[in-house]
Structure 1
Amino acid sequence: MLKGLGNLGDMAKMMKAATEMQGKMADLQEQLARTVVIGESGAGLVKARATAKGEVTGLDIDASILVPTEKEVLEDLILAAIKDAQSRGQERNIEEMRKLTEALGLPSNMPLPF
């Protein structure tokens, strides 16, 4: 067919592989949207729940820190917990993408989606 290109010469195989990869990427994106990570600050006094895609879904604030004079501290703790949750979600996202690229026989550091 296309001599000198080895396996790349078979367009049908390439299209099938691309379609398969697209399906696996869609499945992974759905899985990441359902995966919940927890971020914490203030030694666990404030916790933020987020998806592995970074969407914050909830907060848990220990009542002991609900002091009106400490409003700024509470705001800082909430922001820190949210950032921690988003960071953990991003780490999970990267790890799952790495697993997918390796399962597809691609280099683990290949950025997906293309």
Structure 2
Amino acid sequence: MKSMEEMIKAAQEAAQNIQQQMEQAQAMLDVIQVEGVSGGGLVKVRATAKGRILNVAIDDSLIVPADKGMLEDLITAALNDAREKADAASNAEMSKMSSGMALPPGFKLPF
């Protein structure tokens, strides 16, 4: 049987390894890009899987003062679409990382 000191050292090393993997996964989420689209492609929003908005593209045909309300609704819809896709990409990356860990039943990571 291992000594208590060896078990504690192994647990600390495992915790450090998990923390490094989490940091790498978080960094990767800021590199993964998704695109939200609304209005049949008239409004597009690019974002990272962390939710950082990178770009909003609006088709020139939408820039009419009388259509301001519609444009705002389309932008909102595109942002929401991008956020949903970012959440899905984030969950997929975190699942990849946590699938190799032997976590106790019911234990969930904070992401």
User: How far, CA to CA, are the matches of 1:60 and 1:25 in structure 2?
Assistant: 32
Q: Structure 1 stretches of 5 or more lacking a match?
A: 3-8
Q: When the two structures are superposed, what TM-score results if normalisation uses the length of structure 2?
A: 0.86
Q: Secondary structure at the match of 2:99?
A: helix
Where does residue 83 of structure 1 map in the other structure?
80
1:61-80 correspondence to structure 2 within 5 Å: 61-80=58-77
Question: Any idea what the Cα deviations from partners look like across 1:33-84, whole Å, max 9, x if unmatched?
Answer: 1211101111111000111011111101111122211110000000110111
- For 1:109 and 1:98, the matched residues in 2 are separated by 14
Counterparts of 2:49 and 2:78, CA distance in 1 = 14
Q: Kindly tell me: are residues 107 and 59 of structure 1, through their superposed partners in 2, closer, same or farther at Cα, counting changes over 3 Å? A: farther
TM-score normalised by length of structure 1 = 0.84
For structure 2, the 5+ residue unaligned runs are none
Residue matched to 2:110: 113
Aligned positions, number: 108
Shift of 1:23: 0.1
Aligned to 2:34: 37
CA offset digits 1:2-51 (Å, max 9, x no partner):
6xxxxxx8222111111000000000101101211101111111000111
The answer to whether the 8 Å contact 1:101/1:110 transfers is no
Q: In structure 2, how many angstroms separate the alpha carbons of the residues matched to 1:27 and 1:65?
A: 40
Cα offset, 1:113, TM superposition: 3.1
* Separation (CA, whole Å) in 1 of partners of 2:29 and 2:14: 22
Task: Report what 1:46 is aligned to.
Answer: 43
Q: 1:98 & 1:91 partners in 2: Cα distance?
A: 10
Q: State the distance in 2 between where 1:111 and 1:82 align.
A: 28
What percentage of residue pairs aligned between the two structures are identical?
A: 40
